[in-house]
Structure 1
Amino acid sequence: MIWTLTMNPALDVAFTVPELKIHSKLRCKKVRTTPGGGGINCSRAIVNLGGESAALFCSGGDVDGSMEHRLKALGVKTVRVNIEGDTRLSLLVNPEEEEGEYRFILPGPELSEKEWRSALEKLEKVLEKDVLLMASGSLPPGVPEDFYARVAAVANRRGARLFLDGPSAAVRKALAEEQLFAIKPNAKEWGRIRDCGTSRRNLIEEAETAVRKERRVEIILLSLGSEGAVCVTRDGSEYMESPPVDLVDTTGAGDSMFGAFALAIDRGKPLKEAARYAVAAGAATVERYGSELCTAEGVDKMLDKMRAQNK
């Protein structure tokens, strides 16, 4: 079973409106409400693809019970860290007269030191040797920048393998202070982490340096968005081209990619195959509405497209 950690979860509310117009009542349609946030999305993707996942997350306020209930209904096991503040909402708005979506992301509740330390204590209890832990998503107000470095320290003490995807400053701190198993930055994030710009050549060179010379992380799955991804390991680098898609919504695509990557590794798949599976999962997600994520059928369809374009 793969564990995930989400410090700043959200209840994602997706809907369509005829248009975005000020000083008007906008009647909403196609309303979908789903639990979200980085780690939670990874858990949902893993379960969608036939894996098992447990989500450890902070939650409080009126949304609290709804978050846990919805996750359990989706087949995700839960461990909750109770907080005083209200779990945030995120709004995903699709105007019918435009292509694409508007995403309104709230900052989340401020956590006390006692609350964020409670998350670390619960991690210490649930992690075991060789377990995969995915720590993903933003850090809410009140949580220190070195929090993910602290998570890495817990994982290393317990012998777990940490997959990390978070804010650039927090990932940079974790890389500087602890040994990591895998990270999944996108091009902009990796450019900020390494201060190297966003040209593909520079990004890949910096990833290879981090993995093979500095040896602070074993695997970097560098997301290139619609162009696919590059998987950098001690043994080499593999570019995976994304298949053509009918773009509907990008929400959760990166989390689906990361969740699928971890699941494939947990199943013992070779890294090249795991990276291909990850890219297919991200591509399958962008064809779905709102915060719906990839399905096994959708991923298989994308894998077929990838095989066809590589012939």
Structure 2
Amino acid sequence: MKDIATLTMNPTIDVSYDISRMRHTHKMRTDNEWYAPGGGGINVARVFTRLGGNARCYYLSGGATGPALDGLIDSHELVRTRIPITGPTRIASAVLEHETGKEYRFTPQGPKISEREWTECLDLISQSDCDIMVLSGSLPPGVPDDYYARVTRLLRPRGIEIVLDSSGRALMQGIDAGSLLLVKPSQGELQQYVGRKLDTRGEIEQVAMDIVQAGKARLVAVTLGQEGAILAREGGPVFLPSLRIEAASAVGAGDSFVAGMIFALSTGMTELEAFRFGVAAGSAAVLRAGTGLAYPSDIERLLQLVEPL
């Protein structure tokens, strides 16, 4: 099995609560309070290690909330490399309203990162010893848009494979750096990349295949929310519909999808088997309210429901 490392430039302390009903102005009492370390790369590492893999987390952490994030990561027994910053680690909240079943999510922009801080991170990442590096999540203020592209150019000559899951200009420039193992945009993020609406599955498949055929990524997995997902690869595009399950939360579905696909690939599964495993992992993440992400028992059960390819 291959070892992975993950980079989370804008991590979070993820807090989830339940309330009976949302009301403006009034103080609302919550229950089922839960805290977890979050941010794309950290979430991927949490699921990957649950499945039996080895992962090291690189992440930025600072301010009064930084030590709390460090402690939460330690509570999940993740191997970590912390890059200290001055600004406070952000806190993201997810609130489940029982009366309607709706989930409300509040995510701050994150602290401003100085050039010294992101340069130090780049220096540490350049020395990383892993088989696969996962670049996941947004870039905080102050970090250049081409940061993930810079990391890719540093690590690919060393034979380290790169997985990218981001948005906006960070995603665009990361894809254009090329030679990625896997990139996982949502439909909206892929539309941002090409600068136009993609109204049909055929249009989405064509854009994803263009990325593959240009040598920018070996695999492009496009998540379509409740519709399912598309995988573009050298052998052509394939589609899997979403599983008909009752979703309790949307937190971490994409990160669990990525972790599932990488784990499957790292254990020798084929691209199509890994895609099915990723769909099962993403679906498993939404079964439980809050910040729990996907669990292996749920993934294995749901995998039996994913259509064969």
- Bin of the TM-score, shorter chain as denominator length: over 0.9
Q: Residues 240-296 of structure 1, C-alpha deviation per residue, up to 9 Å, x if partnerless?
A: 222221110010000000011111111111000000000000001101111111111
Query: Separation in 2 of the partners of 1:150 and 1:127?
Result: 17
Q: Which residues of 2 match residues 91-170 of structure 1 at below 5 A? A: 91-128=93-130, 131-170=131-170
SS for the counterpart of 1:107 is coil
Contact 1:7 1:140 in 2 (8 A): yes
Q: TM-score, with normalisation over the residues of structure 1?
A: 0.95
Q: Which residues of 2 match residues 266-277 of structure 1 at below 5 A? A: 266-277=266-277
* Structure 1 position 168, deviation (Å): 2.5
SS for the counterpart of 2:41 is helix
Query: Separation in 2 of the partners of 1:176 and 1:282?
Result: 26
What's the counterpart of residue 62 of structure 1? 64
What's the counterpart of residue 294 of structure 1? 294
What's the counterpart of residue 203 of structure 1? 204
What's the counterpart of residue 55 of structure 2? 53
Query: Separation in 2 of the partners of 1:14 and 1:175?
Result: 33
1:172 paired to 2:172: yes
Contact 1:9 1:57 in 2 (8 A): yes
What's the counterpart of residue 186 of structure 2? 186
* Structure 1 position 144, deviation (Å): 0.8
Structure 1 stretch displaced more, 63-72 or 135-144 = 63-72
Query: Separation in 1 of the partners of 2:186 and 2:103?
Result: 20
Contact 1:284 1:302 in 2 (8 A): yes
Contact 1:145 1:169 in 2 (8 A): yes
Letter in 2 for 1:138: S
What's the counterpart of residue 8 of structure 1? 10
Contact 2:186 2:222 in 1 (8 A): yes
Contact 2:17 2:30 in 1 (8 A): yes
Letter in 2 for 1:201: G
Query: Separation in 1 of the partners of 2:111 and 2:290?
Result: 23
Query: Separation in 2 of the partners of 1:274 and 1:168?
Result: 26
RMSD of the TM alignment (CA)? 1.4
SS for the counterpart of 1:126 is coil
* Structure 1 position 76, deviation (Å): 1.3
Q: Residues 86-113 of structure 1, C-alpha deviation per residue, up to 9 Å, x if partnerless?
A: 0000010111211221000001100000
SS for the counterpart of 1:86 is coil
Match of 1:40 among 39, 42, 45: 42
Residue identity over aligned pairs, in percent, reads 31
What's the counterpart of residue 84 of structure 2? 82
SS for the counterpart of 2:288 is coil
Letter in 2 for 1:39: G
* Structure 1 position 210, deviation (Å): 1.5
Query: Separation in 2 of the partners of 1:271 and 1:245?
Result: 24
Query: Separation in 2 of the partners of 1:51 and 1:244?
Result: 28
Query: Separation in 1 of the partners of 2:111 and 2:27?
Result: 28
Contact 1:196 1:202 in 2 (8 A): no
Q: Residues 207-250 of structure 1, C-alpha deviation per residue, up to 9 Å, x if partnerless?
A: 111111x2221110111122221111112222122222111001
Query: Separation in 2 of the partners of 1:292 and 1:198?
Result: 32
Letter in 1 for 2:76: L
SS for the counterpart of 2:304 is helix
4+ residue stretches of structure 1 with deviation over 6 A?
none
Letter in 2 for 1:125: Q
Structure 1 stretch displaced more, 158-167 or 222-231 = 222-231
SS for the counterpart of 2:33 is strand
Query: Separation in 2 of the partners of 1:54 and 1:276?
Result: 25
Aligned residues: 306
Q: TM-score, with normalisation over the residues of structure 2?
A: 0.95
Q: Which runs of 5 or more residues in structure 2 are unaligned?
A: none
Query: Separation in 1 of the partners of 2:180 and 2:49?
Result: 24
Letter in 2 for 1:57: Y
